[in-house]
Structure 1
Amino acid sequence: MADLFSDEWMKSFMEHWNAEPELSDALAQIGFNSVIGYGFDGETAPKGVLVVENGKATAAGAFDGQEMNWDIRASDEQWRKWMSKPPGMMGLGMAFTSRKMKFVVGDYSAMIKDPRMAKPFIKSFSVMGRA
């Protein structure tokens, strides 16, 4: 198994992202475009990056200085916990308010209030578990 958020892991995540209609198709319906960084709390930069165009992941790999629309951080232990048992809306809210999940870049509040974005965000955790 590749290291979490490594280049190899991110490429696998991209394939699973695109194969999940509740994620890629749902985001395509709202024309979602973003560069999303994933990493660990306390580190200066994200480990991995996913580029999303019209809901579909078009590129993935190790972080290489890209400008982020979203940069999401948590501990390694927390990420793995969410991958094995994806959180619901309440769990995400608790993780954010307790600072177990941090948005270095991006507006968590605006995203979570929009069901068209919140549902796919929640779905992304179960998709991570497949990568």
Structure 2
Amino acid sequence: MFTSEFMTKFQTLWNQDETIPSTLKSINFSANVGYGIKREDQPKTVLIIKEGSVVDAKVYEGEELDWDIRCSEDNWKHYMVKGMGMSQLASGYAMGWLKFIKGDYFSMIKNPRMIGPFIKSFELMSKVYTELNQ
């Protein structure tokens, strides 16, 4: 999941999605979101979002992050195969399987215009993961 090819496909699906860009644009959401492995110094990849749309998705090169999301490799694979819903998000966070090194988890889950796109982004990542691992 942490490759340039993965991130390029993820960006395309994100920007083509009927709800994610428009929902995030409605709240003026812009952020650099890092994805990586727990206990590593830095994330593997970064998604650069401006007004809800992804303008760049790539291997992390030291960009300042607003969100930094980490899992073990096994947990990332689990979420890519099984998906992510509200209950998986809550249990993953509570059990420490899904870590937010940066970003406000609690403000996100209280805001439907943030949590919906977050959950849907995992669905898109899962589609890319499945496509690349067939």
TM-score in same-fold range (> 0.5): yes
Matched letter for residue 28 of structure 1:
K
Residue 22 (structure 2) aligned to one of 4, 20, 25: 25
More helix by share: 2
Residue 44 (structure 1) aligned to one of 41, 44, 50: 41
Matched letter for residue 112 of structure 2:
P
Moved over 6 A (4+): none
Report the Cα distance in structure 1 between the residues aligned to 2:39 and 2:89, rounded to whole angstroms. Answer: 19
Report the Cα distance in structure 1 between the residues aligned to 2:11 and 2:97, rounded to whole angstroms. Answer: 24
Report the Cα distance in structure 2 between the residues aligned to 1:87 and 1:59, rounded to whole angstroms. Answer: 23
Report the Cα distance in structure 2 between the residues aligned to 1:22 and 1:77, rounded to whole angstroms. Answer: 29
Unaligned runs of 5+ in 2: 129-134
Report which stretch shifted further, 63-72 or 76-85.
76-85
Matched letter for residue 98 of structure 1:
M
Alignment of 1:53-64 (within 5 A): 53-64=50-61
- Give the aligned partner of residue 132 of structure 2: none
Report the Cα distance in structure 2 between the residues aligned to 1:79 and 1:24, rounded to whole angstroms. Answer: 23
Q: Which TM-score applies when normalising by structure 2? A: 0.90
Alignment of 1:43-122 (within 5 A): 43-122=40-119
Residue 7 (structure 1) aligned to one of 4, 19, 26: 4
Report the Cα distance in structure 2 between the residues aligned to 1:34 and 1:12, rounded to whole angstroms. Answer: 19
The Cα shift of 1:84 comes to 2.0
Report the Cα distance in structure 2 between the residues aligned to 1:25 and 1:77, rounded to whole angstroms. Answer: 32
Report the Cα distance in structure 2 between the residues aligned to 1:11 and 1:69, rounded to whole angstroms. Answer: 20
Report the Cα distance in structure 2 between the residues aligned to 1:94 and 1:130, rounded to whole angstroms. Answer: 22
Q: Which TM-score applies when normalising by structure 1? A: 0.92
Unaligned runs of 5+ in 1: none
SS at match of 1:130: helix
The Cα shift of 1:31 comes to 1.4
Q: Percentage identity across aligned positions?
A: 39
CA RMSD of aligned residues (A): 1.1
SS at match of 2:57: strand
Report the Cα distance in structure 2 between the residues aligned to 1:89 and 1:115, rounded to whole angstroms. Answer: 11
